[in-house]
Amino acid sequence: MKSKWLVVLILIICTFSAVACGLSEDKKEQEQAPEKSTEEDLIVIGFSQLGAESDWRSENTKSMQSTFTEEKGYKLLFEDGQQSQTNQITAIRRFIQQDVDYIVLAPVTEDGWDTVLSEAKEAEIPVIIVDRMVNVADDSLYTCFVGSDFELEARKVTEWLNDYCKSKDIAADELHIVNIQGTMGASAQIGRTNGLRKAASNYGWDIIAEESGEFTQTKGREVTNKLLRQYADINVVYCENDNSAFGAIQAIKQSGKRVGSNIKDGEVMVISFDGVNHEALLDVVSNQISCVAECNPLHGPRVEAIIKTLEQGGMPDKKSYVDEKVYSAQDEVSAIMVNDKKYDITILSEDNVIDYYIENQMKTQTEN
């Protein structure tokens, strides 16, 4: 009898101590909980950046890095593709293995993404395409795109050129244009090249040569230098970004020619894209660059707005484009028309250039 009560007593003690142990485990977990859940609550974003070729790109990287911080609830995994699609594909596969919450891709070129984006879709990871576009057979392979309309940018500067020439009585057959293209196969190159070709065929302009300056100053200088030696009559150098324009300006000066808008007087006109850094806008003011189509790189807040929409169960617009300006210091053309829409030309001067520079730095909105 006594031993039976002893067994019951031991059972009761064991049960109590087990419950007590459980409680203390729970308590421990609760104590650790805040730290653990903070780490777990971070939204993990794998960002495959294509490289570091230009001022535009540096600003774009900074915008992403300053937006997706731990203080704001994000963990940003940043991979620099160094202009190689293979590197970018490897980065995306790594993000899939790490099971990130979102993949953000700034693709170096348009083609060749179908397989890796199918893998991301299979893993149910939303993919946001930023800056340049991908060319895929099935557009459900990415969630959405935010960036610029590159052909529209080109149409803006070419309309400006056409109107400027009319205002100065420069005939279409007097223009001898070379195009210093961007990275071949990149949306920014494709759109800007197509826009120029269409305008040339509409207006009867002569495009003497097209060659890639790879969006860099060094290559822009090298290619312009070579073309100037090959063709004596070049009077418009159309550069697909500001860095290649900086190189082109150096090459034109080194060749002994003058840079400027006065084609009739033998000057070589430079046209460009981006308008990101202060130097480029000052080059507009001093008429080294006659016209610049703005291309805004501050996509961090735009991507964040997309992620917030997705987090709340919403569906962002499939494609959204940044609303961008056109700059010139020449006041002959005050507005242009593209597709029946009027775009005012922002006339830069020494007095207002800093204001526009600051405005660009703050710009975060898009239009659809």
Which two three-digit tokens encode residue 43? 């939204």
Residues 211 to 230 in contact with ligand GYE, rule: CB under 6 A: 215
Q: What type of residue sits at position 105?
A: L
- Cβ nearer to ligand GYE, comparing 165 with 273: 273
Residue 8: in which H helix or E strand, if any? helix 2-41
Q: How far is the CB of 166 from ligand GYE (least distance, A)?
A: 28
Q: Which is nearer to ligand GYE, 273 or 343 (CB)?
A: 273
Q: Is 144 in the site for ligand GYE (CB under 6 A)?
A: no
Beta carbon nearer to ligand GYE, 131 or 304: 131
Q: Does 102 bind ligand GYE (CB under 6 A)?
A: no
From the list 219, 131, 158, the residue with the least C-alpha distance to 183 is: 219
Single out the segment in contact with ligand GYE by CB under 6 A; choices: 25-33, 48-56, 173-181, 204-212. Answer: 48-56
C-alpha distances out from residue 325 to 61, 343, 368, Å: 22, 8, 16
Question: Rounded to the nearest whole angstrom, what is the least distance from the CB of residue 83 to ligand GYE in the complex?
Answer: 10
Contact 240, 215 (CB under 8 A): yes
Nearer to ligand GYE, 95 or 273 (CB): 273
Is residue 116 within 8 Å of residue 125, measured between CB atoms? no
In whole angstroms, what is the distance from residue 359 CA to residue 222 CA?
33
Nearer to ligand GYE, 53 or 283 (CB): 53
Give dist(CA 368, CA 352) in Å, integer: 29
Pick between residue 176 and residue 192 the one whose CB is nearest to ligand GYE.
192
Residue from 61, 241, 330, 346 in contact with ligand GYE (CB under 6 A): 241
**CA 201 remoteness from chain centre:** 29
Minimal distance, residue 81 CB to ligand GYE, in Å: 13
Binding-site member from 295, 307, 333, 338 for ligand GYE (CB under 6 A)? 295
Shortest Cβ distance from residue 220 to ligand GYE (Å)?
A: 11
Give the range of 52-60, 138-146, 154-162, 309-317 binding ligand GYE by CB under 6 A.
52-60
176 binds ligand GYE per the rule CB under 6 A:
no
**Least gap, CB of 283 to ligand GYE (angstroms):** 14
CB distance 296 to 148 below 8 Å: yes
Q: Which of 131, 151, 210, 294 binds ligand GYE (CB under 6 A)?
A: 131
**With CB under 6 A, what is the number of residues at the site for ligand GYE?**
13
Q: 177-191: b or e for each residue (b if 16 or more CB lie within 10 Å)? A: bbbbbbbebbbbbbb
Q: Is 246 in the site for ligand GYE (CB under 6 A)?
A: no
Distance CA 192, CA 326 (A): 14
Binding segment for ligand GYE (CB under 6 A), chosen from 53-61, 94-102, 163-171, 301-309, is 53-61
- Selected from 47, 56, 142, 205, the binder of ligand GYE by CB under 6 A is 56
Burial 305-344 (b: 16+ CB within 10 A, else e): bbbeebeeeeebeeebbbebbbbbbbeebeebebeeeebe
64: part of which helix (H) or strand (E)?
helix 55-67
Query: What torsion do the CA atoms of 166, 168, 174, 175 make, to the nearest 10 degrees?
Result: -70
Name the nearest CA neighbour of 329 among 358, 357, 349: 349
Bridge-based pairing state of the strands 291-294 and 326-328? antiparallel
**Binder of ligand GYE out of 48, 49, 54, 330 (CB under 6 A):** 54
274 binds ligand GYE (CB under 6 A): yes
Contact residues for ligand GYE, defined by CB under 6 A = 53-54, 56-57, 131-132, 148, 188, 215, 241, 273-274, 295
